Amino acid sequence: MYAQMIKSEATQDDPEKLAAFQARIDAGEKIEPKDWMPEGYRKTLIRQIGQHAHSEIVGQLPEGNWITRAPTLERKAILLAKVQDEAGHGLYLYCAAETLGVSRDEITEMLLDGRMKYSSIFNYPTLNWADIGAVGWLVDGAAIMNQVPLQRTSFGPYSRAMIRICKEESFHQRQGYDAIRQMAEGTPEQKKMAQDALNRLWYPSLMMFGPSDKDSVHSAQSMAWKIKMNTNDELRQKFVDQTVPQAEYLGLTIPDPDLKWNDERGHYDYTDPDWSEFFDVIKGNGPCNVDRLAARNKAWDDGAWVRDGLLAHAKKKAARQHAAE
Ligand code: 3HC
């Protein structure tokens, strides 16, 4: 339905302008905020960048949950830095979305009342310390796989934000791999915890790339506009190919009995996630959806006095300036 809306909006645009716009995209030019753009392009970007920003912010919750219980001071400092980085990523992305004419308050409110989504992965709980290692390894690993190509996306502010974000995400993935490696090389009990974390987080991580290509509503148009650089299945396959040897190195088993190297394709064959679970989670029925949105709503309500105070201060300053003129 959203796709139809975008299509009809795109066709309302002047065909000559549309063709010139597509030629700029095809030539690899960056589109900047004040440039002419089809309404569908603008809306698709607001949806994708906004959803991405919300994911960074909501993604702080499952990890923030473990800051006070990190096993050592070093791990605590690393986790604290990582969670702060995620807040920064959210802010860069909200700023990029604002250049498209939507305020941060507007898209935040759309998250809080359920009109906008955030990544499905953050609706799963982090039950123990091994999960924090697995989140860094798998979730940040999947996030980078998707985000490295987005550094070349056609919209300038989004592409520039992604360059900085990817540098930090790469550190996040490595710290996660190091934390899970320590568990996997630890006592039998710790190795069991690492395997259990992999068992629970493997399929939710594969779901992060979105539905299979045949069910992806937006891919075709988004790829033509270079808002997306790859299809969901292409990136999922790259992630599987990269992660299987890493699991082997750790002595852990990917929870997929049908996973095997396919010489002909030059890729691993793997079992798809249960897509009915994915669609259920993005509809709001995952294990943590209610808690996550309640936490974000509470943070928003608790911060109202700060926003009101800043606004009152800005109004007063403007009135004083006006009176002096
Ligand atoms: N979680 C929630 N919703 C998802 C989803 C996911 N993992 N994957 C797809 N969807 C939704 C889409 O938003 C769309 O619904 P909508 O029309 O209501 O918006 C629907 O499922 C159909 O999917 P499509 O494939 O047609 O959607 P897209 O073309 O937007 O592709 C995407 C989905 C690959 C996630 C794309 O939006 C994208 O590349 N986004 C940028 C990256 C991003 O958002 N990453 C968040 C990861 S978490 C993170 O970065 C935090 C870090 O700290 C770990």
Does any ligand 1 atom lie closer than 6 A to the CB of residue 232?
yes
Does any ligand 1 atom lie closer than 6 A to the CB of residue 108?
no
Residue 11 CA to ligand 1 centre (angstroms): 25
pLDDT for 2 equals: 41
Determine the residue of 207, 217, 279 to mutate for testing ligand 1's pocket, defined as the one with the most ligand atoms within 8 A of the Cβ atom. 217
Residue 35 CA to ligand 1 centre (angstroms): 26
Residue 48 CA to ligand 1 centre (angstroms): 7
Enter the pTM of the model.
Answer: 0.93
Does any ligand 1 atom lie closer than 6 A to the CB of residue 48?
yes
List, in sequence order, the alpha helices (H) in the chain: 2-12, 15-26, 39-58, 60-64, 73-98, 104-112, 129-134, 140-150, 156-184, 188-207, 219-224, 232-250, 275-280, 289-302, 304-324
Does any ligand 1 atom lie closer than 6 A to the CB of residue 43?
no
pLDDT for 12 equals: 66
Q: How many CB atoms lie within 10 A of CB 266?
A: 8
pLDDT for 13 equals: 79
∠311-315-319 over CA atoms, to 5°? 170
- Output the residue whose Cα is nearest ligand 1's atom 44: 52
pLDDT for 228 equals: 97
Determine the residue of 2, 218, 280 to mutate for testing ligand 1's pocket, defined as the one with the most ligand atoms within 8 A of the Cβ atom. 218
Does any ligand 1 atom lie closer than 6 A to the CB of residue 54?
no
Residue 260 CA to ligand 1 centre (angstroms): 27
Ligand 1 atom closest to the Cα of residue 135 is 54
∠259-264-267 over CA atoms, to 5°? 40
Does any ligand 1 atom lie closer than 6 A to the CB of residue 226?
no
- Output the residue whose Cα is nearest ligand 1's atom 23: 216
Residue 119 CA to ligand 1 centre (angstroms): 6
- Output the residue whose Cα is nearest ligand 1's atom 27: 218
CB contact at 8 A, 50 and 90? no
- Output the residue whose Cα is nearest ligand 1's atom 38: 48
Does any ligand 1 atom lie closer than 6 A to the CB of residue 55?
yes
pLDDT for 4 equals: 43
Q: How many CB atoms lie within 10 A of CB 91?
A: 15
Residue 176 CA to ligand 1 centre (angstroms): 22
Cα 23 from Cα 30, distance rounded (Å): 11
Q: Is the dihedral of CA 166, 171, 174, 180 positive or negative?
A: negative
Under 8 Å CB-to-CB from 165, ≥6 apart: which residues?
89, 92, 93, 147
Does any ligand 1 atom lie closer than 6 A to the CB of residue 153?
no
- Do the bridges between strand 260-262 and strand 267-269 make them parallel or antiparallel, or are there none, so unpaired? antiparallel
Under 8 Å CB-to-CB from 187, ≥6 apart: which residues?
none
- Half-sphere exposure of residue 144: CA atoms within 13 angstroms, side-chain side: 19
Ligand 1 atom closest to the Cα of residue 2 is 17
Residue with tokens 């900085």: 164
Residue 189 CA to ligand 1 centre (angstroms): 35
**Average pLDDT per run of 10 along the chain, which is 325 residues long?**
43 85 97 97 98 98 95 96 97 97 95 96 97 97 97 98 94 96 97 98 98 97 97 98 98 98 98 98 97 97 94 91 88
Under 8 Å CB-to-CB from 194, ≥6 apart: which residues?
130, 133, 134, 180, 183, 184, 250, 252
- Residue closest to 91 by CA, chosen among 49, 123, 122, 62: 49
